Every structure is written in C-alpha cells, then in structure tokens.
Copies of this chain bind each other. A is one copy, B any other.
C-alpha cells in the first residue's frame, strides 16, 4: 500500500519510475483477476456443454448484431476454422442466426436468436455482477484508471475495434 507506483520528476515532466517488482505485481494482478473474471461464466457454460469460445462469440454478436464472420474473426483473433467449429454448433443449436447479406450475398450476418440472447444475458449477468462489485469497491476514480491502463495495454488494431464499438453503440 505504501508502495510508490510513480513520482513526478522535479523538473515537472510526468515520468514514472517503475521497478521490476511493481511491474511483476501488475502482471500477477492481471493473471489472478482474469481467472476470476472468466470463472463465473465458465461455471455456467458447463451446464450447456459450451466453452469460453462460445461465450466470446455470443458476446460480440450481442454487441454488434449483424456483424459478418470476417469482423468476428478479427475481434476474436482466431482462425476461421477454429471459429467455424464454435459458430456451427451455435447455429445448429439455434442460438445464432446467420443471414445472407443483401448487398454482398457472400457475407453472413450474425444475430442472436431469442434463446441465444437468453444465454448471453445469463453469462454476462454473472460476469457483470463481479465487475460491478469490484467497481463499487474500488470507486469511480479507480475505475477510470483501470480502463485507461487496459486501453493503453491493447494492441493498436484492437484498440481501434474497441473504440469503434463504443462509437457504433452509444
């Protein structure tokens, strides 16, 4: 707690002096927090015979209804063969609807069905509950910092996606 995370240079520049120790602690915090972050949805998914990959696909389809497969591939960062396995089971099970594009008939636009949306809600409810609790405990200033650091950590391409999603869904 008394551990200094950084200091302003006397000259006035806002440089940070970060020890290896401080950065290692940050890495561990990411590791443990991410484990907790995925634990709740994972427990739910077991009941449905789905995995984390299904959750991610469902999440982004909920987020951008009508996105095409290529966009989803870029968001998830996996190969199309890998995604296809997941997406096929979701379509077969009636959780996702794939509609042929009107302008470009090669594209499939992806949507959640009623039951797909229901599962998405169940999963994200569980995940949001944990995040809400953490946000409340840490307070608004901490939350703003949390998001700033995460955003700064992202690869530029994904940061673009991340911000597009904000802009596209106000």
Contact = CB atoms under 8 A, between A and B. Distances in A.
A142 B134 contact: no
A30 B25 contact: no
A146 B135 CA distance: 11
B162 A137 contact: no
Interface residues of A, number: 66
A147 to B, nearest CB: 6
Contacts of A140: 5-7, 16
Contact of A16 (B31, B34, B77, B139): B139
Contact of A147 (B25, B59, B154): B25
Interface of A: 3, 5-7, 14-16, 18, 20-21, 23-37, 39, 56, 59, 63, 77, 124, 127-128, 130-155, 158-159, 161-162, 165-166, 169
